[in-house]
Amino acid sequence: MTRGLDAVADLARRLLPADAVITDRARLRTYECDGLAHYRVTPGLVVVPPDAGSLAAVVAACNEHRVPFVARGSGTGLSGGALPHADGVLVVTSLLRSIREVRPEDQRAVVEPGVINLDVTRAATPGGYYYAPDPSSQQICSIGGNLAENSGGAHCLKYGFTANHVLSAELVTPQGDIVRLGTDAPDAPGYDLLGAVIGSEGTLGVVTEATLRLVRLPEAVRTVLVGFGSTDQAGHATSAIIAAGIVPAAIEMMDALAIEAAEAAVQCGYPDGAGAVLVIELDGPQAEVEAEYAQVERICREHGSTEQRLATDPADRALIWKGRKSAFAAVGRISPDYIVQDGVIPRTALPEVLRAIDEVSRSSGVRVANVFHAGDGNLHPLVLFDDAVHGAGEAAEEVSGAILDLCIEHGGSITGEHGVGVDKAKYMPRMYGEDDLDTMQLLRCAFDPDGIANPGKVFPTPRLCGEVPGRRKGVHPAQAAGLAEVF
Amino acid sequence: MVATALGEAARAAVGSACEVREATGDDAVDGTPAGLVARPADTSEVAEVMRASAAHGLSVVSRGAGTKLAWCPPPESADLVLDLTAMDRVLDHQAGDLIVEAEAGTPLAAVRSVVGEQGQRLVVDETTPGATVGGSLAAHASGPERMLAGTARDLLIGMTVVRADGVVARSGGRVVKNVAGYDLGKLLVGSFGTLGVITRATFRLHPAAETERWVSVPVADADAVHRLTHAVVHAQVVPAAVEVDLGGPARDAASGSFTVQLGGRATGVTRRADAVAHLLGGGAEVAQNAPDGWGRYPWAPDEVGLKLTCVLSGLRDVVAAAAGAGARVRGSAGSGVLYAALPVTAAGGVVAAVDRLRATCVARGGSAVVLQAPPDVERSCDPWGPVPALDLMRRVKERFDPDRRMAPGRFVGGI
Ligand SMILES: Cc1cc2nc3c(=O)[nH]c(=O)nc-3n(C[C@H](O)[C@H](O)[C@H](O)COP(=O)(O)OP(=O)(O)OC[C@H]3O[C@@H](n4cnc5c(N)ncnc54)[C@H](O)[C@@H]3O)c2cc1C
C-alpha cells in the first residue's frame, strides 16, 4: 500500500464498521472486475460505507492524500467503468439500498444509489406507477450505476434514458463535499449540472441519493414476436413502422445466431430457422394500442414476416422477453468468450450496416451474433471467440473495432448505453476531435482538478487542469521575476 | 453615441472576422448599452469573432431574435453583441431517423415548418413569437407540450458551441442514443450565454399527431386546479399538455380555465377527449383548436414575470400563493412548471410578494425565478432564490470563461 492509501485505510477503519473495510487480498480480488471481465485490477482498498456521510469522509481523505477512488454499484457495467485502481479505493454502494420515498402523487421516488433498478418499479407498481429506464440487467444493476452510465433499455425508444428520468441527486464531490444537484420539481435554477453528471461514469463524484421520475403504468400493452427471413427485412420493417408515425415502447431485433443461442438456453419458442426476429411492444391507451397493432401487423406482413406471435397473457409476454433479455448470457453458452459491442447507427442505416457486419464476420471467420435495440439503432453485436485459441482474442478485437468504425462512418456513436469506461476510451478520438475532448475535460477540471475520481476512464488522455484560471494566488511568477507589470 | 469605449484595435479585429456595425440604442441588452454588433454567417466566423474578443478582452452577449434578452439581470457590460440571425439554416432533416439539425439563429417556427412537411414535429414550444433555436436553448424556454416529451433539454442530441476563447467544440451527435463523453449540450441549456455561444443544435423529432383536441373547463381557484390536475395525470388519458390559466386580464379569478391537450390517432383521441371531459366535470368543452394565449407567457412587458415550480402535491399551495399575490398564473400544471405575471405595485411590495411565493415553492420542492422585471424591481430583488451547488457552478464558469466575458452578471450568483 502507498502511504496515502494507508492513511485513507486508517481513517476508514476508525469511521466504518470493521467488515466495511476490506484489505484482505483474497476478498479484494472479488472486486477485480465488473461485467467486462477481461480487464482485471485488484483494488488497493475496498470500502462499503453504510451511509453518505461516511462515504463522503472516505472521499475527503482520498482528496487529502491524492488517492484515486472508483465508485462501484452492482458491477454489471460492460465497459470497465468500475475497474478498480491498484493504488486506489473502490467505494462500493451495496449497503446503500434503501428506497426512501415512493410518492405516486408526485410521480417521484427517492432512492439510495445501491438500490436495484427493478426494485424501484416493484415499489411503485402498487401505486400505478413504474420506473421507465429498464436495462436488460435491471434485476441486478444499481440506480447509481444507471445514473453514471445514463443507462437505457428496451423501452427507452419511447420513454427516454436515465437522464430523462432523474430530477435531483445528492453528489459527493471529489473533494468529499456533499452537494445537491437539481430539485424535486423540474428546471432547477442554475446550470444543469445534474444533466452533466448523468452519464459521466463516476468521473465527477459519487451519487449518494437520487430523486427519480415515475411513469404511469400504461392501460394496455401488446407484445408481438415477428419472424423474418433476414435481418434486411426486419430492418426495413422497423423503419417502416417508425415512418408510419408509430412510436412503439420497444422494437428489439435478434439475428439467426442469437435466436439459436436464446432458444437453446431458455426455450423461448422463437420461430425455427428465422433469419431474424423482432420483439415489438406497443403500450398506451387501449384503443390506440389496438389500432397501432393492426398497422404493425400489416407492415410486418408487407415486409415478408414469416410468423407473428402475439402474447396472449403476461406469462407469454414474459417468455418472449425472456428470450431477448437473456440473450447475452445465452450466447455465453455457444461460445466460451465474446465481446459485446454497443455502437449506434441512424436507424435507416440498419440493413446496410448489418450486411457490412456480416461481411466483416465472413471475411475474418469470426462469428458475430446480433441482439439489439433496433428502434433506436443501438447495435449489440456479440463477437464470439475462444480465448484458448491462440490469436482468437486479437482477431475478435479487430472485428469489434471494425464494427465501431462502421458505426462512426454512418454518423453514429461508439456507445449507446454501456459507456466508454476503460474499454472504449481509445476510440473516443475517432468520434470527437481534440478540441471536443478538451472542452469536455473543462468540466472534469471544474469538478475534479486533481483527477482522482475514476481516473483513466472515458478520456484517452487526461487534461492537465492546472490552477483554477483567473484566480491568482500571490504574485504572478512573471511579475515576481520582473518580466511583467501588473495589468 | 454609445457609452462603451472600444479601442480601434478591438474594432478592427472584430471587423476582420465578420460583418460588424456600431451598436445603436436598440441594441442595448436589458438597459446595458452595447458597443459593437457582429453578425457572423457561420460557426467559423463566430469562432473568429470570439478569438478577437478574447484577445481584446471584450464582453460578449449572444442574441437570437432578442425575445428573452430582458430575462435575467442585465449583463454588467456588452462590448459586443453577437447577432446570430444570419445563421438561420435548417441544415439537415433526416425524416427516416426523426432528427433535425439547425443553426442557432433559425426561428423555431422555421424548423417546425420544415419537419412538418414530412408529418413530423419538433416538440419545443415557441413560447414567444420569433424565438430562435439558440435562444430557446440558452433560456431553456418551455411550454405546454413539455408534458409529452420533456423540454428542449430532453430532445437535444447534439450541439456545436464556440467557447469564450474561440475554440469550437461539438458534443453528442446525430443519433438519439449516445453516451460517448460528457453531455455538454445539457450544460449549455439554460446557461443564458454565460458559458459559450451555441451555434448548431440537433434534435430528436416526433411524428405529428394525426388528431388533436383541447378539453377545457372553467376554474375559479387553486383547489380546483389541484384536484383536476391530479384527476388527469393519474388517469389513463396520456395528456400532451395540462394547462392552467388563472386570474385573467381583469384579475378576475372566476375567468380561469383548465385545459387538457390530447394528440394521437383520431379514434383514440375522440375516446380520450370524452374521458377527460368526464373527469373535468360539468361545463367541459372539447375544441379543435388551442384556447387563446395557449403556450404564451402571461405577462405584459411592464409586469414582473416569474417561473414557479413545485411537485404536484404542492400545486394547490403554489397556485393559491400566486393568486393571493394578485398574479395571473399560466402554465403546465401537469408538470409543476407555472409562469406568473405580477403587476408592479410599490417595489417593496413586489419584493415581499416574490419572497413569499418563493418560500412556498421551495417548501414544495421547487423554485421561484424572476425572469423579467422593470429595472427598479430587478435591482431590489434576488431573481434566483436558493441555488443548490452554486459553488460548483462557479467552478464550471471559471473553467469555461476564466476572464468572465460571456454575459457577465446575467446568471445565478452573479456568474
Ligand atoms: C446481461 C447484461 C445486460 C445489460 N443490459 C443493459 C441494457 O440493456 N442497457 C444498459 O444501458 N446497460 C446494460 N448493461 C450494462 C450495465 O448493467 C449498466 O451499465 C448498469 O447501469 C451498471 O450498473 P451497476 O450498478 O452494475 O454499475 P457498475 O458496473 O458497478 O458501475 C458502472 C459505472 O458507474 C459508476 N458508478 C457506480 N455507482 C456509482 C455512484 N453511486 N456514483 C457515481 N458513479 C457510480 C462506476 O464507477 C462505473 O463507472 C447490461 C449488463 C449486463 C451484464
pLDDT digits (tens, 9 = 90+) for B101-151: 999 999 999 999 999 999 999 999 999 999 999 999 999 999 999 998 999
Say which of B97, B366, B395 has its CB closest to residue A185: B366
Please give the pLDDT value at position A475: 45
List the CATH number of the domain containing A105: 3.30.465.10
Asked if residue A371 is part of any domain, the answer here is no
Asked if residue A378 is part of any domain, the answer here is no
> Is A320 found in the same domain as A282?
yes
Judged on CB neighbours under 10 Å (0-12, 13-18, 19+), A390 is: exposed
> Is A224 found in the same domain as A207?
no
Quick check: A161 contacting B, CB < 8 Å? yes
> Is A207 found in the same domain as A231?
no
Please give the pLDDT value at position A476: 42
> Is A126 found in the same domain as A174?
yes
> Is A253 found in the same domain as A326?
yes
Given a cut of 80, is residue B249 above it in pLDDT?
A: no
- Asked if B17 contacts B45 with a C-beta cutoff of 8 angstroms, the reply is yes
| C-alpha–C-alpha distance, residues B147 and B172, integer Å | 24
Can you give the three-state secondary structure of chain A, one letter per residue? CCHHHHHHHHHHHHHCCHHHEECCHHHHHCCCCCCCCCCCCCCCEEECCCCHHHHHHHHHHHHHHCCCEEEECCCCCCCCCCCCCCCCEEEECCCCCCEEEEEHHHCEEEECCCCEHHHHHHHHHHHCEECCCCCCCCCCCEHHHHHHHCCCCCCHHHHCCHHHHEEEEEEECCCCCEEEEECCCCCCCCCCHHHHHCCCCCCCCEEEEEEEECEECCCEEEEEEEEECCHHHHHHHHHHHHHCCCCCCEEEEEEHHHHHHHHHHHCCCCCCCCCEEEEEEEEECHHHHHHHHHHHHHHHHHCCCCEEEECCCHHHHHHHHHHHHCHHHHHHHHCCEEEECCCECCHHHHHHHHHHHHHHHHHHCCCEEEEEEHHHCECCEEEEECCCCCCHHHHHHHHHHHHHHHHHHCCCECCCCCCCCCCCHHHHHHHCCHHHHHHHHHHHHHHCCCCCECCCCCCCCCCCCCCCCCCCCCCCHHHHCCCCCCC
Check B184 against A443: CB less than 8 A apart. yes
The structural domains of chain B, with segments of one domain joined by +, span 2-86+402-414, 90-207, 211-380
Q: 1.10.10.10, 3.40.50.300, 3.30.465.10, 3.40.640.10: which CATH number matches B90-207?
A: 3.30.465.10
Domain boundary residue, one of A216, A235, A254 = A216
Specify the pairing of strand A69-72 against strand A89-92.
Answer: parallel
When divided into structural domains, chain A yields a total of: 4
Phi, psi (deg, nearest 5) at residue B258: -130, 125
> Is A279 found in the same domain as A330?
yes
Mean pLDDT of B225-242: 97
Domain boundary residue, one of A92, A112, A135 = A92
List the CATH number of the domain containing A315: 3.30.70.2190
Residues in chain B closer than 8 A to A128 (CB atoms): 234
CATH superfamily of B211-380: FAD-linked oxidases, C-terminal domain (3.40.462.10)
Complex prediction ipTM: 0.96
> Consecutive 10-residue runs of chain A (487 residues): their mean pLDDT?
94 96 97 94 98 98 98 97 98 98 98 98 98 95 98 93 98 98 98 98 98 97 97 95 94 95 91 94 95 97 97 92 89 91 94 95 96 94 95 95 96 96 96 97 97 97 75 44 38
Quick check: A351 contacting B, CB < 8 Å? no
Torsion over CA: A252, A257, A260, A261 (sign): negative
Which residues approach ligand 1 with their CB closer than 6 A? A 34-35, 70-78, 81-82, 93, 113, 135-137, 141-142, 144-146, 148-149, 151-153, 201-202, 206-207, 328, 417-418, 454
Centre of ligand 1 from the C-alpha of residue B30, in Å: 46
Q: May I ask the CATH architecture of the domain B2-86+402-414?
A: 2-Layer Sandwich (3.30)
Mean pLDDT of B258-275: 95
Centre of ligand 1 from the C-alpha of residue A151, in Å: 7
Asked if residue A65 is part of any domain, the answer here is yes
| C-alpha–C-alpha distance, residues B39 and B41, integer Å | 7
The domain of A14 spans: 3-92
pLDDT digits (tens, 9 = 90+) for B47-57: 999 999 999 99
| C-alpha–C-alpha distance, residues A238 and A217, integer Å | 25
Domain boundary residue, one of A299, A317, A334 = A334
> Is A79 found in the same domain as A42?
yes
> Is A171 found in the same domain as A88?
no
Q: Which ligand 1 atom is at minimum distance from the Cα of A78?
A: 15
Ligand 1 atom 2 nearest Cα: A137
A interface test, pick of B392, B406, B411 with most A CB neighbours within 10 Å: B392
Residues in chain B closer than 8 A to A416 (CB atoms): 175, 177-179
> Is A190 found in the same domain as A133?
yes
Which residues make beta-bridge pairs with B304? B342
Say which of B161, B187, B388 has its CB closest to residue A196: B187
| C-alpha–C-alpha distance, residues B299 and B369, integer Å | 14
Please give the pLDDT value at position A473: 43
> Is A195 found in the same domain as A134?
yes
Centre of ligand 1 from the C-alpha of residue A173, in Å: 20
Quick check: A107 contacting B, CB < 8 Å? yes
Quick check: A393 contacting B, CB < 8 Å? no
pLDDT digits (tens, 9 = 90+) for B163-220: 999 999 999 999 999 999 999 999 999 999 999 999 999 999 999 999 999 999 999 9
Check B388 against A183: CB less than 8 A apart. yes
Asked if residue A229 is part of any domain, the answer here is yes
Check B174 against A346: CB less than 8 A apart. yes
> Is A208 found in the same domain as A287?
no
List the CATH number of the domain containing A25: 3.30.43.10
> Is A193 found in the same domain as A264?
no
| C-alpha–C-alpha distance, residues A485 and B326, integer Å | 57
